[in-house]
Amino acid sequence: MAATCVIFDVDGTLLQSSLFEDYLYIAAVRSLLGDVLIRRNWGEYDHVTDLGILREICAENRVPPGDCEDHIRSRFGALMSDHLNRFGPCAPIPGAIQFLNELRASPDFQIGIATGGWGHIARMKLSGAGYDLTGIPVASSDNGFERIRVMERCRAQLSSTGGTVYVGDAEWDQRASEQLHWRFIGVGSRLHGRCSPWIPDFLEPGLIQSLFG
């Protein structure tokens, strides 16, 4: 039987990073564009990726995109690096590192990461938190502004012809999985009661068997 492809979101799924991630993103945007209008509920944007949100912010504030995307991407990375140096690495979601490593060690699974964030920032946070990314494809907002395109890019880097599962913590993760006809596993409080299967974290004994058995 072909291996199942399990693809993970990052913030809120593998890392406890969503709150300061949002703050630093907004700071990066305003450092270049000034006091532009930014919606605080990311779910109100059509494409919940770093690039997709930025393009909508520019459009709504009538700011010509120009080369601001590269500048803001770089500024966001610098702010994140400074934050991690000052306050320490991101904490992993409980049990997530062991869960991912157990999946990777099994011939029944292939692992990928597809995040709406920019790739250099995702790798910085994941590596600092203790994740070994060796051999794991990481697709990101660098690969497109639409979340489903990022997810497809990650899946294309996995060789198995088996089914695909996406693991995420937000409604936009669930929505994109449904559009792609992938199975979805919800993680964390935001999706509690909104999807099945759902897990609070990755600490439950025998979790691989209960989710994939």
Separation between Cα atoms, residue 53 and residue 57, nearest integer Å = 6
Give yes or no: residues 29 and 82 share one domain.
Answer: yes
Give yes or no: residues 95 and 53 share one domain.
Answer: no
Round the CA-based radius of gyration of the chain to a whole number and report it.
Answer: 17
Helix (H, G, I), strand (E, B) or coil at 187: strand
Full pLDDT tens readout for the chain, 213 residues: 899 999 999 999 999 997 899 999 999 999 999 999 999 899 999 999 999 999 999 999 998 877 799 999 999 999 999 999 999 999 999 999 999 999 999 999 999 999 999 999 999 999 999 999 999 999 999 999 999 999 999 999 999 999 999 999 999 999 999 999 999 999 999 999 999 999 999 999 999 999 998
Give yes or no: residues 183 and 117 share one domain.
Answer: yes
Q: Note the Cα 54 to chain centre separation in Å.
A: 16
The neighbour count for residue 204, using CB atoms within 10 Å, is: 13
> Is 0.85 topped by the overall pTM?
yes
Number of domains composing the chain: 2
Mapped to the 3 state alphabet, what secondary structure does 1-28 carry? CCCEEEEECCECCCEECHHHHHHHHHHH
Range of the domain at 67: 18-87
Give yes or no: residues 66 and 123 share one domain.
Answer: no
Give yes or no: residues 118 and 155 share one domain.
Answer: yes
CATH number where 162 lies: 3.40.50.1000
